[in-house]
Amino acid sequence: MVGIYTDPGHVIEYDDGEVRQEFNVCFTAHVRGGRLATSTESKEVGWAPLDELDALPMHESTRLRIRHCLDRWALPYIG
């Protein structure tokens, strides 16, 4: 487990008017099969080389999770 993430200041408002506070439990994993596919919560999915991550548009909370995963902390982040 990489960590448990939540922030009362980070509120997500969906196109259908639903509003919620984000809560995320983040794990590392290995791909074992299947294929990438979009869902109602994604417009595009794909793999990116690590050296191209900084150029991708994403919320700072997502960057934090990626950073924690790549840093391979001994204990999960809780915050």
Instruction: Kindly report, residue by residue over 26-60, the tens digit of the pLDDT.
Output: 999 999 999 999 999 888 999 999 999 999 999 88
74 within some domain: yes
- Kindly report, residue by residue over 67-78, the tens digit of the pLDDT: 999 998 889 999
pLDDT at 76: 93
How many domains are contained in the chain? Answer: 1
33 within some domain: no
pTM: 0.72
The DSSP output letter for 72 is T
Beta-bridge mates of residue 21? 11
35 within some domain: no
13 within some domain: yes
CA dihedral 53, 55, 59, 65 (to 10 degrees): 20
How many Å apart are CA 31 and CA 39, to the nearest integer? 18
Residue 69's domain spans which residues?
3-28+45-78
pLDDT at 39: 95
